[in-house]
Structure 1
Amino acid sequence: MVSIKLVSTKKELKQFIDFPHDLYASNPNYVPELYMSQYEILDKKSAPFFLHSEADYFLAERDGKIVGRIAAIKNNNYIEYTSNEIGHFGFFDVINDSEVANALLDKAKSWIAERGLSQMAGPYNLSTNESCGTLIEGYDLPPTIMMTFNEPYLNDLLIAYGFETDMTLLSYIVYTKDMPEKLSRMSGLLKDRLESKGITIRKANLKDFKNEVDKLYRVYNKAWEKNWGFVPMTEEEFKHSAKDMKLIVDPDFLLIAEAKGEPIAFSLSLPDLNVAQKHIKRGRLLPFGIFKLLYYKRKIDRVRVITLGVVEEYRKLGIDAYFYAKAFEESKNKNLLYGEASWILESNEMMNKALININANVYKKHRLYKKAI
């Protein structure tokens, strides 16, 4: 018999965070999330998400053993911004068993319905500003930093429950050895063209990180405001994320475009810390994980273009193409194996075209689902 319990203690939250380590222990491509980063996201007392929204976490047990987990989420900012009465689910990991999966989804569904919402969608961990989606293609390589991982059966369980596709998210790969020679020429020509229009592009100044973050925040919500699924980040959320990323950001991979002295676009690529995290048992930095992280960090051979946005009035000028070209050109200069651009909405023709033009190929797909309740 399957029982579902609400996570209400620190011990249960620890079990919630740790469950994927046991579930995917035999999969060579699984990468454990750092425990401290997951705790920061889920801790209702300190995570900025909970200043405006709510969520509860649930564990499934059978015969005294944890066999699944799920989060039920009411994102008030999303509801206010989109006027969609939709609740979300996330952190959905479960053994390959429809009874267990259905019990968890039923619990999330009833939680969402109790709050007067008419649909459920996900998985979101906790919104589109964090990791989201289930992997549906590309199981032969491990996930990059801040991308989700699951076995193929998870999608079968969601479809069997009655979920339909809401959106497909694409991940592109560019191997540095396959980068066209014209890439460097193209980035130079694009930069010249942009400068002729009064647009300058520079690297971020990490010595003035606080002011740089303020500028990027002004761009972020403007640049993504009309994107499917977008939820504006609060200033607290943006600065909280920036604080974590400062530890690993490389200024060569954080580019800012400005016009008339004001920021109009930026691109952020991160070294794929998952290369190192893969070796950290159960995501624990202490007592020895920190030394493994520092050792394997030197072996990082790939980068992920994680954020790229241009405010609407400056689109179609080639800023996005320049950002992509420069990120992958820099990857080649640093002798990295490949770069990933993710995730890209399947419906975003402009971004998809920019990537195809530099010989990028789709190598992973993730999916978001929805269902009426």
Structure 2
Amino acid sequence: MNIQPIDTHNRRDVNRFIDFPHQLYRDNPYWVPELHPAARLVFDQKRHPFYRHSTAQFFLAQNQNEVVGRIAVLHNRNYSDHYKQEVGFFYNFDLINDQEVAKALLDAAVNWARQQGITSILGPRGFLRSQGFGLLVEGFDQIPAVGIPYNFPYYQNLLENYGFAKEADILSGYMIRSDQLPEKVFAAADRVAERSNFKVLQFKRKRDLKPWIPMVDLVYREAFLENPNYFPTTPDEFTLMAQNIYQIADPRLIKIITQDEKIAGFILGYPNINRALQKTHGRLWPFGWVVLLRAMRDTRHVDLNGLGLLPEYQGRGANIMLYAEVERSLRAVEAEYAEMIQIDERNFNSFSDMQTVGVRVHKRHRLYRLVL
């Protein structure tokens, strides 16, 4: 078996890295391919904003010229600076069920990390803060939310046998249309809004969202600063994150909470288009974009990937208003199913709110750490 570092300027190498999971999961009904332009962008060190402050290396495992595994290892210096420790990430960890292949790939990642002065490796975590993270350990019979990783069950044993240990579990849960909040909750939310002068900004057109996007970034920073998975992004990274969401946004699923003309919080939802991504194999051309546009219009499956309140508004009744507005949004698009995505088990307030509104936990991703 051979472990090959990827030459990111070699189109054949890049294609083999991108194409491998398509082969590995070809008979799996739940795995969803990444859009090809996004998958290819992470190899472009001139265009991807990650490389303006950090570095990464990609490896392929080959057996008699057949690809049997892949991994990316990242040194996100902004994350390391924020936590004041040299931490690496591993990502794109896909392979056949073979401990020897796992060891060879992880050995290569560890050796590269040590050369960068990294003292521990955390993951799976990607190139942008907005990318889903963790290894799926529960919920293998469910379609993932958009951008959230899916993997085979055997990955867990391969990682743990190598020496990776649990850092934290990341939980996702769902609501169905019949899981409606009692009317008294809406009445209470309306009283909070009137008493505290909260207003809800709603949108009908995508272009109406654009002026608010930079302000949402500021709110996100303050609302999630104490979140154990938070780290700051650069303006260029936030622009890329916002573009990715804007492409699939339904303005009816995005709301901004204000008080006295200042942003107090936000709700970010979008249609789940993953069944369409499966049909197109992640390709937009020649007709993939038509399939995706149709899915954005017709799906009744919604992902909720951002609920935030600034710290000064938390615990003052604004939480109940936030969740009432979530349900109003879901009713507006006639959603049959909504998934609240990736709440860290260490984020006690968010986890408690999930339980309060009746969200059923059905997926568990696990962050792993290896101390070098």
Instruction: Indicate whether the TM-score tops 0.5.
Output: yes
Alignment of 1:220-235 (within 5 A): 220-235=220-235
Residue 278 of structure 1: CA displacement?
1.9
Can you list the C-alpha shifts for 1:315-342, whole angstroms capped at 9, x where unaligned? Answer: 1123333333322343234332210001
1:307 aligns with 306
1:211 aligns with 211
Residues 190 and 75 of structure 1: is their aligned pair in 2 closer, same or farther, counting only changes over 3 Å?
A: same
1:173 aligns with 174
Can you list the C-alpha shifts for 1:215-257, whole angstroms capped at 9, x where unaligned? Answer: 1122121111111021112111112221222222122211111
Alignment of 1:57-96 (within 5 A): 57-96=58-97
2:192·2:318 contact (CA, 8 Å) conserved in 1? no
Amino acid at match of 2:249: V
Provide the aligned C-alpha RMSD in A: 1.7
Q: Quick check: 1:150 aligned with 2:151?
A: yes
Alignment of 1:271-290 (within 5 A): 271-281=271-281, 283-290=282-289
Separation in 1 of the partners of 2:188 and 2:220?
Answer: 26
Which structure 1 residue ranges, 4+ long, deviate > 4 Å from structure 2?
none
* Unmatched 5+ stretches in structure 1: none
Q: Quick check: 1:252 aligned with 2:252?
A: yes
Q: Quick check: 1:270 aligned with 2:270?
A: yes
1:22 aligns with 23
Separation in 1 of the partners of 2:235 and 2:191?
Answer: 34
Can you list the C-alpha shifts for 1:172-197, whole angstroms capped at 9, x where unaligned? Answer: 100112324x0x54134213313311
Alignment of 1:86-125 (within 5 A): 86-125=87-126
Residue 264 of structure 1: CA displacement?
2.3
Q: Quick check: 1:6 aligned with 2:9?
A: no
2:191 aligns with 192
1:4·1:103 contact (CA, 8 Å) conserved in 2? no
1:72·1:90 contact (CA, 8 Å) conserved in 2? yes
Residue 280 of structure 1: CA displacement?
1.0
Separation in 2 of the partners of 1:171 and 1:266?
Answer: 19
1:159 aligns with 160
Can you list the C-alpha shifts for 1:101-152, whole angstroms capped at 9, x where unaligned? Answer: 1111111111111111111111111254312111110111111101100000
Residues 250 and 188 of structure 1: is their aligned pair in 2 closer, same or farther, counting only changes over 3 Å?
A: farther
Separation in 2 of the partners of 1:59 and 1:266?
Answer: 41
The percent identity for this pair of structures is: 32
2:3·2:105 contact (CA, 8 Å) conserved in 1? no
1:50 aligns with 51
Q: Secondary structure at the match of 1:17?
A: helix
1:126 aligns with 127
Separation in 2 of the partners of 1:19 and 1:320?
Answer: 43
Amino acid at match of 2:30: N
Residues 38 and 318 of structure 1: is their aligned pair in 2 closer, same or farther, counting only changes over 3 Å?
A: farther
Give the stretch that moved more between structures: 21-30 or 253-262: 253-262
Q: Secondary structure at the match of 1:172?
A: strand
Residue 270 of structure 1: CA displacement?
1.0
* Unmatched 5+ stretches in structure 2: none
Give the stretch that moved more between structures: 243-252 or 264-273: 243-252
Residue 42 of structure 1: CA displacement?
4.0
Separation in 2 of the partners of 1:76 and 1:248?
Answer: 30
2:137·2:365 contact (CA, 8 Å) conserved in 1? yes
Residues 361 and 12 of structure 1: is their aligned pair in 2 closer, same or farther, counting only changes over 3 Å?
A: same
Residue 70 of structure 1: CA displacement?
0.7
Residue 54 of structure 1: CA displacement?
1.0
- TM-score w.r.t. length of structure 2: 0.94
1:7·1:59 contact (CA, 8 Å) conserved in 2? no
Separation in 1 of the partners of 2:367 and 2:31?
Answer: 20
Separation in 1 of the partners of 2:220 and 2:208?
Answer: 18
Amino acid at match of 1:35: H
- TM-score w.r.t. length of structure 1: 0.94
Count of aligned pairs: 370
Residue 294 of structure 1: CA displacement?
3.1
2:6·2:14 contact (CA, 8 Å) conserved in 1? no
1:176·1:328 contact (CA, 8 Å) conserved in 2? no
